[in-house]
A = this chain, B = another copy of it.
Amino acid sequence: MVEDHLFQHLYGEIGRIPLVDPHSHINPHRPAARSLDEILGYHYYTELAHSAGLDKKALAAEVEPRERVRAILAYMDRFDNTAQYSWFMEIARTFLGFVGGELTAADCDWLCDSAERLMAQPSWEEQVLRRAHVEQVFLTNDFDDPLEGFNTRRYVPCLRTDDLVFHLDKPEVRQRLARATGIEVGDAATMRQAITKLFEHFTRHGAKACAISLPPTFQPGPGLESHLTGMLQLPERNSPAEWSAAVFWMLAEHCRDFNLPFDLMIGVNRRVYRDGVYQGQDLFDQRTSLIQYAELFNAFPSVTFPISVLSSGQNQELVSYSWIFPNVVTHGHWWYSNIPAYIAADLRARLEAVPKIKQIGYYSDAYKLEFILPKYNMYRRLLAQVLADDFVRPGVLSEDQALALARLLLRDNARRIFNM
């Protein structure tokens, strides 16, 4: 096999670009893992092990953590073909000193012991960040997060709004909102006041984005506030499609007024597999279209919408919408799309048709810092390969231009778009 020196060179240089990771679920109070259980508790492993036959009971909260790890490791040879297994192997090798060729239940104790010893080091968080070459990580904060006690320049707050848009009919959500804002929400007007309070709180604490995940059928539109008032006053006459759209529209107005981008993660149905493991129950319906958001994009020209999608069919729409709408930008490779086959295809199309300043290349979606490295390395390899094959070798870009493009995707576009 001929070595691909160009690819190797690009991949090496891309690895030197310091990262801004614009979407994660990191807990800034405990950003790194403290045990292997916190690594393999990531839903990708519990759901793949369960899908491959592992009984959910082996993963229950009351099971001793090391036995949960052992159970997953015992099933790994059923899914060691997957990209997700490769992430874990890279973590084991890079962070835990594993040197073998396969991971099995026999490695459980050694791995757990190594993890506990290494992760207990006071410098662990810094070590992990340095090896991943990541400078800033965006969070996913509940609307009632106090946002205190952590470095908000390293861990950038982001207002996650699913609860407000889809669960405001639940009394506990309204109680949390009352506690967070001091406002008892009883109609559209008080809801608007409460949202203003939240945006004030978040932007005061350095928040750089508002974010939400949306089901495939969602269609935002203006002028639905009476439905929201109706739901709040007569909950039994509940029409979620309308009042959800009303809350969503208020959020977009606040993004405009507070100069925050609005991250839309489009296409997920929740609880499709009802007996699935925790966070392993959601799936998509390919029959969704960005046309559902045309009214939104038209109504808020000053709001930037970084868009994540779940399928390559939807990515083709995203490429075209980002090419046409100034306020639509491509955002990472989300969830079920985040495997090499789909990243490569989606990335290639974006690079060929979307202005390069409008592409946020990737985010980790990680719950623990250790996952940033293997996920970004997967992306960096694919990016290097696409740049080598489709841009540098055909003479479209020089190597330096290709690396400058990579820097936009991995760092500079996120910093500019999120006003950092």
Binding site for B on A (CB under 8 A): 1-2, 6, 47-48, 50-53, 78-84, 86, 101, 269, 272-276, 280-291, 294, 297-298, 301, 311-314, 316-317, 319-326, 336, 339-342, 345, 348-349, 351-358, 381, 390-391, 393-394, 396-398, 405
A286 touches B314 (CB 8 A): yes
Task: Report 10 cross-chain contacts, Cβ distance below 8 Å, ordered by A residue.
Answer: A2-B2, A78-B355, A82-B352, A84-B353, A274-B298, A283-B290, A285-B291, A312-B316, A323-B336, A341-B348
In the complex, the chain B residue whose C-beta lies closest to that of A320 is B336
Chain B residue nearest in CB terms to A349: B341
Q: Give chain B nearest CB distance to A329 CB in angstroms.
A: 10
User: What CA separation (Å) do A346 and B294 show in the bound complex?
Assistant: 27
Please determine whether A323 and B356 come into contact, CB atoms closer than 8 angstroms: no
B281 touches A47 (CB 8 A): no
Number of copies: 3
Please pick, from B80, B84, B342, B353, the residue contacting A316 in the complex, using a CB distance under 8 A.
B342
A287 in contact with B289 (CB, 8 Å)? yes
Q: Which B residues touch A393, using CB under 8 A?
A: 1
Known: A6-B1, A283-B294, A316-B313. A51 touches B339 (CB 8 A): no
CB-based contact A324/B355 at 8 Å: no
Identify which of B80, B273, B301, B348 contacts A294 (C-beta below 8 A).
B273
* Residues of the B chain whose Cβ atoms lie less than 8 Å from the Cβ of A275: 298, 301
Task: Tell me the minimal C-beta distance from A80 to chain B in angstroms.
Answer: 7
Known contacts A275-B298, A312-B316, A349-B341; A47 and B323 CB within 8 A of each other: yes
- Alpha-carbon distance between A101 and B395 when the two chains are bound, in angstroms: 10
Contact call A101/B317, Cβ cutoff below 8 A? no
Closest to A396 in B: B86
Q: What's the minimum C-beta distance from A282 to chain B, rounded to whole angstroms?
A: 8
Contact A358 B51 (CB under 8 A): yes
A356 to chain B, nearest CB (A): 4
A313 to B, closest residue via Cβ: B313
